[in-house]
Amino acid sequence: MTQPDAELPQMLRMVLDAPRARLRAEHRPLPACSGTEVLIRVAACGVCRTDLHLQDGELPTATYPRVPGHQVVGEVMAAGPHAALMPGTRVGVPWLASTCGDCRFCRNGQENLCENAHFHGCDVDGGYATHMLADSRYCIVLDAHLEAAQATPLLCAGLIGFRSLRMAGAARSIGIYGFGSAAHLITQLARHEGRRILAFTRPGDTMAQDFARELGAAWAGGSDEPAPEALDAALIFAPDGSLVPRALGDIRQGGSVICGGIHMSDIPAFPYARLWGERQLRSVANLTRQDGIDFMQAAADAGIRAHITTYPLEQADDALDDLRAGRISGTAVLLCDEHAQRGAPGLAGEPHG
Ligand SMILES: [Zn+2]
Ligand SMILES: [Zn+2]
């Protein structure tokens, strides 16, 4: 990684100046942290489909220029006077950057719905960078043995998948629509819990179908194929609204369809009979800090192993392009420090020590 001025400690960050722009590499001095902030040396940052929505201008609350990235693993380098974390602590930085603590949702244990929340890589800078600032109260303390690149997908894909799976209640037979980052992690947890997974991919995407079967899916096929059996629940991770009536038609009476994406194309009209029979349709929004704690434990118990494809930080645009084109199985991960780029340790090792 190049540093134009060796005199001052510098950081490199990849900046999205406006919707539909390419990323711009920017060197700047390391920021100071104040209050409850910590300065984090980023080891790795996962690439999420939401980053594509940021690039496409599809996130209504996003502001630009913005550094994307909300699946960050790094180490606390410096701490503000009121920070809750010590330098040297291994942390994860998720989507939720801060909440107000005061609105009806915060007071009701639903901080994921906070009316005044901020989000990393959306309206606060994220982890497509060698360093970033984060509010220590919203960082997730990670096991020091977790390998950085391996752990990044847990921080959004895993967490949203986890929240979606929990909303499916005790469902035994679950259809997953869109088999990418979230699906590949949560399939492992669902299998660990003894559930049956049926994976629906883009029609003809035999790579994703093989991948789903390798992870223990009982069946995998295209989203244009009929479900081979009635489902107790459906989790939709693909941003395709036409999957909603489709999934409602695949579930039993009393079952749920849960939409895990932050953005989806319009849902076509469908006959009421598809919702009848106490079928439920709901979305999953953001995460709470408790979700982070609960999921990291569940992931460790289930031995979830992320499948990752790594890129140097400066090739973040390539990672976004590959994700958009469906060329990645599992999760794309940016290696953000020189050490990680040299060793590329994300390609080996178990996620939990
Ligand atoms: Zn995400
Ligand atoms: Zn709030």
**Cα 105 to ligand 2 centroid, rounded to whole Å:** 6
Domain covering 10-155+304-347, topology: Quinone Oxidoreductase; Chain A, domain 1 (3.90.180)
**Cα 108 to ligand 2 centroid, rounded to whole Å:** 9
Per-residue H/E/C for 232-288: EEEEECCCCCCHHHHHHHHEEEEEEEEECCCCCCCCCCCCHHHCCCCCEEEECCCCC
DSSP string, 46-85: E--HHHHHHHTT--TT--SSB-----EEEEEEEE-TT-SS
Closest CA to 289 of 151, 117, 145, 73: 117
User: Which ligand has an atom closest to residue 117 CA?
Assistant: 2
**Cα 110 to ligand 1 centroid, rounded to whole Å:** 19
**Per-residue pLDDT, 37:** 98
**Cα 120 to ligand 1 centroid, rounded to whole Å:** 10
- Asked if 308 and 333 touch (Cβ cutoff 8 Å), the reply is yes
**Cα 97 to ligand 2 centroid, rounded to whole Å:** 12
Give pLDDT tens digits for 179-238.
989 999 999 999 999 999 999 999 999 999 999 999 999 999 999 999 999 999 999 999
Q: State residue 103 phi and psi, 5-degree precision.
A: -75, 175
User: What's the token pair of residue 216?
Assistant: 């223990």
- Long-range pairs for 196-199 at CB < 8 Å and ≥24 separation? 196/172, 198/173, 198/174, 198/227, 198/228, 198/229, 198/231, 199/175
Q: To 5 degrees, how large is the angle CA 166–CA 153–CA 213? A: 70
**Per-residue pLDDT, 329:** 74
User: What's the token pair of residue 318?
Assistant: 């390539």
User: Which ligand has an atom closest to residue 163 CA?
Assistant: 1
**Cα 213 to ligand 1 centroid, rounded to whole Å:** 24
Domain covering 158-283, topology: Rossmann fold (3.40.50)
**Per-residue pLDDT, 191:** 97
User: Which ligand has an atom closest to residue 109 CA?
Assistant: 2
**Cα 106 to ligand 2 centroid, rounded to whole Å:** 4
User: Which ligand has an atom closest to residue 286 CA?
Assistant: 1
Sign, CA dihedral 237-239-244-249, equals negative
- Residue keyed to tokens 């330098």: 87
**Cα 131 to ligand 2 centroid, rounded to whole Å:** 27
Max CA-CA distance within the chain? Answer: 68
User: What's the token pair of residue 265?
Assistant: 């194309």
Instruction: Please give the Cα distance from 279 to 293 (Å, whole number).
Output: 30
User: Which ligand has an atom closest to residue 104 CA?
Assistant: 2
**Cα 59 to ligand 2 centroid, rounded to whole Å:** 19
Terminus-to-terminus CA distance in the chain, angstroms?
29
**Cα 340 to ligand 1 centroid, rounded to whole Å:** 22
**Cα 186 to ligand 2 centroid, rounded to whole Å:** 28
Q: Tell me which residues of the chain have a pLDDT lower than 70.
A: 1-7, 338-353
User: Which ligand has an atom closest to residue 107 CA?
Assistant: 2
**Per-residue pLDDT, 4:** 53
User: Which ligand has an atom closest to residue 102 CA?
Assistant: 2
**Cα 107 to ligand 2 centroid, rounded to whole Å:** 7
Would you list the domain boundaries of the chain? 10-155+304-347, 158-283
Per-residue H/E/C for 126-151: CCCECEEEEEHHHCEECCCCCCHHHH
**Cα 46 to ligand 2 centroid, rounded to whole Å:** 26
